[in-house]
Amino acid sequence: MKFATLKSDRPDGRLVVVSRDLSRAVDAGHLAATLLDAVERWDDVQAGLLALYDGLNAGAAENSFAFDPAACAAPLPRTWQWADASAFLNHGRLMERAFNTEPIPDFETIPVMYQGASDDFLGPRDDVPLPDESLGIDFEGEFGVITGTVPMGATAAAAQERVRLLVQVNDWSLRKLGPREMKTGFGFFQCKPSTSFAPVTITPDELGEAWHDGRVKLDLHVQWNGAWFGNPNGGEMNYSFGQLIAHAARTRRLSAGTVIGSGTVSNENRAAGSACIAERRVIEIIDHGEPRTEFMRFGDRVSMTARDAHGDAPFGTIDQQVVRAPAPD
């Protein structure tokens, strides 16, 4: 199944079911008021949502309409929890060099994760308001999952069974603020502004073999100001989503609607390019002794589209412009 949240006068938006080819949508409010409501009552509403989805794909859904990604909020405009990992060890090792930090203890055996803000997610076409372009504005292309309730102490296998939906993410970063926050021992806060999401969230079965071993095995195509930046594949994730969820749930129960991110998609083969500027800059330092790529400026655009072997984009596209944040009232 595929879902989206249309913007409305309600903060959690309007839930719609989206056709497999992303061309049509139909209101799902009679089954679940919002996507969070659907995830929280998944066992009760899943059958009805599936029937609606099948009818939409067959051209039999009443009152369907053309799907417009520009009208979408994030699939979950807000939720209980957003936790982001660094599950691609290639990226993590490069970032250690970028921040000039000591190697992370047990990095290859224990996932690294931070808890971000989940009260103000951005939609796929929303402008990205930021206070100062000198803060090192960077995009970070990722994949993520939305979970059902996960009990404390769940195994990786049991945790993976609680994956309800998959998402495509741009986890924005302000790189000039990161090193200081890392050194405090308290982790990221100011350097992580609101996170953006592709318009459509999907059940794992929609990916077929591209969802395997708890990994999204799709190329994530990234363009910056219309130019190719990278197309790394999510299959090189060193930790599965089951392992990431289990790590998050080791000492706490996770509420339905928790979003867990993979961290920046990164491949060892440099021909795949990168999904964030910081990674490219580190590679430039390695190759040339200094970075040559600047961070984003106001007016810059970034586009991200995960594509399968047929070129289809199951999540749709994130396409956003960075703008100066308005002065506070």
pLDDT digits (tens, 9 = 90+) for 51-88: 999 999 999 999 999 999 999 999 999 999 999 999 99
- Helix ranges restricted to H, 4-123: 35-40, 42-57, 89-99
Give the per-residue pLDDT at 60: 95
Give the per-residue pLDDT at 162: 98
Residue 97, token pair as written in the block:
């060099």
Taking phi first (over 0 means left), then psi (-120 to 50 degrees means alpha), and beta for anything else, what does residue 245 get? alpha
- For residue 286, pLDDT over 90 is answered with no
Model confidence over 118-139: pLDDT tens digits? Answer: 999 999 999 999 999 999 999 9
Give the per-residue pLDDT at 96: 74
Confidence of residue 93 (pLDDT cuts 50, 70, 90): confident
Helix (H) or strand (E) holding 244: helix 241-248
Give the per-residue pLDDT at 200: 99
Which has the closest alpha carbon to 298: 131, 136, 133, 124?
133
Task: Please return the burial class of 48, using the count of CB atoms within 10 Å of its CB with bins 0-12, 13-18 and 19+.
Answer: middle
Residue 239, token pair as written in the block:
């930790």
The vertex-120 CA angle with 118 and 126, nearest 5°, equals 130
Q: What are phi and psi of 165, to 5 degrees?
A: -145, 155
Confidence of residue 98 (pLDDT cuts 50, 70, 90): low
Confidence of residue 36 (pLDDT cuts 50, 70, 90): very high
Residues 6+ apart with CB under 8 A from 60: none
Give the per-residue pLDDT at 115: 93
- For residue 25, pLDDT over 90 is answered with yes
Q: Which strand ranges, in their side-by-side order, compose the sheet holding 301-307?
A: 128-130, 317-324, 301-307, 219-224, 227-230
- State how far the Cα of 15 lies from the Cα of 20, in Å rounded to an integer: 16
Which has the closest alpha carbon to 327: 122, 127, 193, 129?
129
Percent of the chain with pLDDT over 90: 86
Count CB-CB contacts under 10 A for residue 226: 7
Query: What structural domains and CATH numbers belong to the chain?
Result: 2-71 (no CATH), 82-324 (3.90.850.10)
Model confidence over 201-226: pLDDT tens digits? Answer: 999 999 999 999 999 999 999 999 99
- For residue 102, pLDDT over 80 is answered with no
Helix (H) or strand (E) holding 321: strand 317-324
Residue 7, amino acid: K
Confidence of residue 37 (pLDDT cuts 50, 70, 90): very high
Give the per-residue pLDDT at 327: 84
Model confidence over 153-182: pLDDT tens digits? Answer: 999 999 999 999 999 999 999 998 887 777
Q: Contact, 258 vs 147, CB < 8 A?
A: yes
Residue 148, amino acid: G
Give the per-residue pLDDT at 199: 98
- Lowest-pLDDT range of 72-76, 98-102, 245-249: 98-102
DSSP state of 328: P
Confidence of residue 94 (pLDDT cuts 50, 70, 90): confident
Give the per-residue pLDDT at 177: 83
Mean pLDDT computed over every residue of the chain? 95
- What's the pTM? 0.96
Residue 12, amino acid: D
Reported in sequence order, the residue ranges of the chain that DSSP labels E, i.e. its strands, are 2-6, 14-18, 24-27, 65-66, 82-85, 113-116, 128-130, 137-138, 141-147, 163-170, 173-174, 196-197, 201-202, 211-212, 215-216, 219-224, 227-230, 259-261, 301-307, 317-324
